[in-house]
């Protein structure tokens, strides 16, 4: 089983590799959470180490979270919707641009999402920066891939069976 996963990871496209990484991190988080529950520990170590905190001092003590937050998801539904988008938008992206550009777009999108989150939470009155707040998930990265390919090929026709046909620009 493990050999099959390793082989598929090595032979997979960059989109598939990103999907595998996101799934692996969710499984790892679920395993740690299960052990925490079984040993009656309130410490959610994985979440605490992977999510991006809104507080600057917390971020400075965990600077890797600027990257790790875009691979960690709160749950199965959160992961599923992000990976569906990554799969479909990534496939279109890969038809026109290369793997290096896709990874760059994913990471830069996640970084800008983190920056927007940090600035919003610390400088907009509507958000209470005194609360412990965290950002996580691949939403910004996936939307960056969608935005990039929609800008590159705005007239690309997408068909959702039994629902609609539309161009990416819409």
> Using one digit for the tens of pLDDT, what is the confidence trace for 96-145?
999 999 999 999 999 999 999 999 888 887 776 566 789 999 999 999 99
User: Please, are residues 132 and 59 in contact by the beta-carbon 8 Å criterion?
Assistant: no
**Residue 130 vs residues 49, 63, 165: alpha-carbon distances, Å:** 20, 20, 46
Q: Global pTM? A: 0.89
Give yes or no for residue 45 having a pLDDT over 80: no
pLDDT of residue 104: 97
Kindly give, in sequence order, each residue whose CB lies less than 8 Å from that of residue 61, ignoring residues fewer than 6 positions away.
none
How far apart are alpha carbons 36 and 69 in whole angstroms? Answer: 21
User: Please, are residues 144 and 97 in contact by the beta-carbon 8 Å criterion?
Assistant: no
């Amino acid at each position: 089983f493990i050999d099959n996963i390793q082989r598929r990871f090595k032979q997979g496209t960059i989109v598939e590799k990103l999907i595998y990484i996101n799934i692996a991190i969710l499984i790892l988080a679920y395993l740690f959470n299960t052990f925490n529950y079984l040993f009656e520990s309130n410490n959610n170590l994985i979440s605490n180490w992977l999510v991006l905190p809104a507080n600057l001092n917390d971020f400075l003590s965990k600077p890797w979270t600027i990257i790790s937050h875009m691979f960690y998801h709160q749950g199965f539904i959160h992961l599923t919707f992000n990976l569906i988008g990554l799969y479909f938008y990534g496939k279109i992206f890969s038809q026109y641009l290369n793997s290096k550009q896709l990874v760059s777009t994913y990471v830069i999108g996640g970084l800008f999402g983190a920056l927007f989150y940090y600035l919003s939470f610390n400088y907009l009155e509507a958000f209470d920066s005194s609360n412990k707040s965290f950002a996580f998930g691949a939403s910004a990265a996936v939307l960056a891939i969608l935005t990039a390919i929609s800008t590159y090929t705005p007239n690309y026709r997408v068909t959702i069976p039994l629902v609609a046909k539309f161009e990416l620009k819409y």
